[in-house]
Amino acid sequence: MAADLTAVPSVEAHRETLDKALEAIRTREYWSPYPEHPKAYADGETAQAAFDALRGTRFDLDQPGTDGWTGGEVSPYGIDLGVEYPHPDVDVLLPAMKAAMPAWREAGPENRALVCLEILARINARTTEMAHAVMHTSGQAFMMAFQAGGPHAQDRGLEAVAYAYVEQVRTPGTAEWVKPQGKRDPLSLRKDFTAVPRGVALVIGCNTFPTWNGYPGLFASLATGNAVVVKPHPRAVLPLALTVAIAREVLAETGFDPNLVCLAAERPGEGLAKTLALRPEVRVIDYTGSTAFGDWLEENARQAQVFTEKAGVNTVVVDSTDDYKGMLSNLAFSLSLYSGQMCTTPQNLLIPRDGIATDDGHKGFDEVVGDLSAAVGGLLGDDARANALLGALVNPDVKARLEAAASLGEVALASREVTHPDFPDAVVRTPVIVKLDGAKPDDEAAYMSECFGPVAFAVAMDSSKDSVDLLRRTVREKGAMTVGAYTTSGEVERQIEEVCLEEAAQLSLNLTGGVYVNQTAAFSDFHGSGGNPAANATLCDGAFVASRFRVIEVRRQA
């Protein structure tokens, strides 16, 4: 079957969406084509049934090289999904994917972008169903799974498509090159330029944000002509399996080989990511997860361009504020959202031991920590609201870290078990806040390590200057996805900005309203910087897409 985009009439209409996305990444103003409100989605009525129908089934993708079935996802809310996925025979799957690439390359950047947008549109139409899948794999509360796993993830995918498109069309398809030679005839060449893919791109999914962290790499690679094999986290397969199924459906309908996008679900303990990462066909890798495996990929998958988001230690410098209540409620929300299981959640709150100046007068260290603890307690005091904000702990490791954290120092706010009305087996916990002393060497091991989960450290510092120094050291040595700061001092603000510029960390200053340090908006905010140890790439910039393809020139005498 030859490629035929007119077979799917909606594809051509996406040109306008693409143009708007291109404009948005240029202005960085607010924009999104995907509504955030559940009521905007027609699948709201049927999604629960659709999700329930998936449970206990074989998720057949009709992929080549399936040598059995694997599964075993158990929801952090306690239910057994019971879905089985095809297990790949990599020696059959990867050659089939490579064979799919020439026609996709020939389609060119614009057609590839439009097909990607059709995939995103169909994912968008199933947002509510996807929300159930994300909720029951990541443990996110439903509304967060809906928004972060749905429209916000789709935004990030679209953003990547826009970057990929514009990067490929910077070089024209054709040029006439005529070089004057004085009195002699000019030299004249016709030059044809083609964006060519690297090869097969591997996306290694994560447990907490399978779609949000998976879509940028998936769509950046696909839009630049690569085939994409998706290796989901074994606890979060379903959202990416749904994604792959939709992508394959759109590719087939538009006349392309559906094997351009395949799923590679692994058997327990198989280590399929390592196997795939070292295959010569794999030339691009996107990964979100532990620093140890991210470093391993960077060191060993030398044949591939490797984009990693790893662990970091996020800091908030608390120096002073003219909106004490706003600061407390903003921080309380940031610490609570998804039980602190975001790579962007603050961990270390650096507070002068002599306290801070506020619009409500001077507040001592213990007072600030106490007021913050009260703010968190108030925010999560009602179980219904707590469940809606916290979600469930994604795995037993997080629970173990949370429980161990209480012994690291004086507990300012103890973690509390929350019962979920619908899912009695869900492990729902409020955050713990532990006091540490920035001047005590014994405490350093705690605040200089990532403690992923609902654990925050209130670190007493000798001065805000010391806070700034520790911020620099933390970013340089451990990396950071986010930095926050509260200050009314121009001098402290300047120092913190300088640290962030020199150590390459993204900074949120004096957030006291409805925007939180741990949230970034596609088309406007960069997620990570790619310039400190927490990640070697950012979502999304030119560097995230530029090396996923190469431009090949054929020149002929004119």
Considering only 87, 198, 363, 472, the residue that binds its own copies (CB under 8 A) is 198
Q: What is the DSSP string of 379-408?
A: HTSSHHHHHHHH---SSHHHHHHHHHHTTS
* Residue 43 DSSP one-character state: G
Tell the residue number behind the tokens 């066909």, with chain if given.
281
List 69, 293, 423, 526, residue binding its own copies (CB under 8 A): 526
Contacts of its own copies in 19-58 (CB under 8 A) = 25-30
CB nearer to its own copies: pick between 426 and 517:
517
- Nearer CB in complex with its own copies: 122/548: 548
Give every CB contact of residue 238 below 8 A, 6+ residues apart in sequence.
Answer: 54, 59, 73, 81, 83, 133, 136, 137
Site for its own copies in 269-328 (CB under 8 A): 298-299, 302
By CB under 8 A, residue 478 contacts its own copies: no
Report how far residue 347's alpha carbon sits from residue 364's, in angstroms, rounded to the nearest whole number. 20
Tell me which of 13, 62, 177, 354 binds its own copies, using CB under 8 A. Answer: 177
Of 89, 249, 383, 541, which lies in the binding site for its own copies, with binding defined by CB under 8 A?
Answer: 541
Q: Residues 391-430 vs its own copies: string with x where CB under 8 A?
A: ----------------------------------------
Q: Which residues of 392-406 are buried (b: 16+ CB within 10 A; e: fewer)?
A: bbbbeebbebbeebe
The span from the CA of 267 to the CA of 457, in Å, is: 37
Out of 336, 345, 430, 510, the residue judged to bind its own copies by CB under 8 A? 510
Q: Does 183 bind its own copies (CB under 8 A)?
A: no
Give the chain's end-to-end CA distance (angstroms, integer): 35
> What part of residues 224-253 is at the interface with its own copies (CB under 8 A)?
none
Q: How far is CA 451 from CA 194, 248, 341, 366, 493, in A?
A: 46, 38, 10, 22, 27
Going by C-alpha positions, the residue among 542, 551, 480, 552 that lies closest to residue 164 is 542
For residue 110, the SS3 value is helix
Among 2, 9, 179, 441, binds its own copies (CB under 8 A): 179
Give min distance, CB of 282 to its own copies, in A.
Answer: 14
Q: Which stretch binds its own copies (CB under 8 A): 77-85, 139-147, 431-439, 546-554?
A: 546-554
Tokens of 173: 């398809």
Q: Please answer whether residues 386 and 407 qualify as being in contact, where contact means their C-beta atoms are separated by less than 8 angstroms.
A: no
Asked if 194 touches its own copies (CB under 8 A), the answer is yes
Task: Looking at residues 98 to 137 of the shown chain, list those that interact with its own copies (rule: CB under 8 A).
Answer: 102, 105
Under the rule (CB under 8 A), what is the footprint of its own copies? 25-30, 102, 105, 167, 170-172, 175-181, 187, 189, 191, 193-194, 196, 198, 298-299, 302, 497-498, 500-502, 504-515, 521, 524-526, 529-531, 538, 541-543, 546-547, 550-557
